[in-house]
Amino acid sequence: MKLAVLVVCSCFAVRGRAQEVGNAPGRLHLGGYGEAVMARNFYSQSFNRYNAPARYKDDGSHGRFDLPHITFNLGYDFGNGWSLGSEVEFEHGGTETAVEIEAEESGEYEAETEKGGEVAIEQFWINKEFFQGKLNVKAGEIIVPVGYANAHHEPMNFFTCYRPEGESTILPNTWHQVGVSVWGRVSDWRYEVQFLSGLNSESFTGEKFVHQGATSPYEFKVANNYAVAARLDNYSVKGLRMGVSGYYGYTFRNSIKDPGASYNDVKGALAIISADGELKRRNWIARATVTYASLSDADRISEYNKANSTHHKYQDGNPFHNTNIGSNAVAWSVEAGYDVFSQIGKLKNLQQLYLFGRYEHYNTMAAGTYKSQYKQCAPYRATVGFNYHPIKQIVVKGEYAYRYFKKPNNHGLHADSPLYVLPFNNEPSVSVSVAYQGWFL
């Protein structure tokens, strides 16, 4: 049996028959992917730029160097249908902390944060295969394949330098939790059903909806509430994959803090439905996705979170956010790219150069009491660029992106009127990146 990267998630899939027990080196697999990005943003980076757009209209550009994701995958085939898969991810270069003796402060010891970032175990699971891959049971830290950007988060699966912005904003990304998965492939269909702990509504925000809900401030993930996730993909048409995915679970009271009897009727039911497709034919790659999410009791959760955020604002580690939350969120996108090297005889089938375009929209406050206060949460983004593949495992990307917002309706209002709404400034940027994805063993 060997382990291979699945199209649907960045994990190891068990296929074929078990190898001989004595062939241990052949049953160990090591791989991963990584990205390095250089960007120049031609707009203000002030956190207050949406509250006072006129003040920051003429701010200068700013540049950034980043390592968005570096991962290492380690897998092993134990034989008899049993296998292990794991993935360690370093986001934005990981973290760097140190204890130093400060000469300028009379030799005092100080803990210094030298670099931001995160280190996380994104996958660590045991899988048992039945019926030659038609049925598998997986348990451990697993990817939740809801939406395209979670199911296909490796850098070869999207044209932009960073992961698709819309889905990566409104949903956790890469979404991973401890749970149990039943999955398999039967003919042209691949299915997966998962049992998980629910998300935590204490970490929901207005600008990112439920994006931070899969995290936990504790050494464990609270599981007072449970949830289910599912995904179904079809490969019946050559070069075409169509998929649908969904999620449902309660999110409120999924913490060690008891909200009290006054919130007994609050559930925070979160429902997500997503559809996506990818076409690879005649040197074209085209993708489309749409994701819709609904959260019940959004106003009550906002009230509870803001009260706790204010009360504990001077305590380190407080997970609550002083923000309102939307009752609905939406994200959709389309992108297409053509391999121009396919028309050059000497380069055809040796290298690839895709010229692409992408257009997307997302809204983390698509509905809810506070919708009118969060107009900045509904941007549109148009992107054009290239993906150059000198070899199969390497890609060099370049893009120009233009993020913009709908103009406010100021018809008949003078600029001095208290009802006049200032438009947000547009946010163009240029980015270049290099990424790899492959197996070392």
- Cα 394 to Cα 70: distance, rounded to the nearest angstrom: 14
CATH number at residue 302: 2.40.160.10
Q: Which long-range contacts (CB under 8 A, 24 or more apart) does 109-116 make?
A: 116/92
Q: Which residue intervals of 257-330 are DSSP H helices?
A: 298-311
Domain span at residue 94?
2-439
- Token match 């409120």: residue? 252
**pLDDT by position in tens, the chain (length 441):** 333 333 334 444 433 333 334 456 679 999 999 999 999 999 999 988 998 898 999 999 999 999 999 999 999 999 999 999 999 999 988 877 666 665 555 556 666 666 777 888 999 999 999 999 999 999 999 999 999 999 999 999 999 999 999 999 999 999 999 999 999 999 999 999 999 999 999 999 999 999 999 988 788 888 999 999 999 999 999 999 999 999 999 999 998 888 889 999 999 999 999 999 999 999 999 999 999 999 999 999 999 998 888 765 556 667 778 889 999 999 999 999 999 999 998 888 899 999 999 999 999 999 999 888 888 999 999 999 999 999 999 999 999 999 999 887 777 676 666 666 678 999 999 999 999 999 988
Tokens of 59: 């701010």
- Please name which of 436, 432, 343, 351 lies closest in space to residue 386, comparing C-alpha atoms: 432
Cα-based distances in Å from 144 to 9, 202, 229, 231? 9, 20, 7, 9
- Sign, CA dihedral 296-297-303-304, equals negative
Number of independent structural domains in the chain? 1
- Cα 249 to Cα 68: distance, rounded to the nearest angstrom: 29
- Helix, strand, coil percent content, the chain, rounded in steps of 5: 10, 50, 40
DSSP 308: H
- Cα 195 to Cα 85: distance, rounded to the nearest angstrom: 18
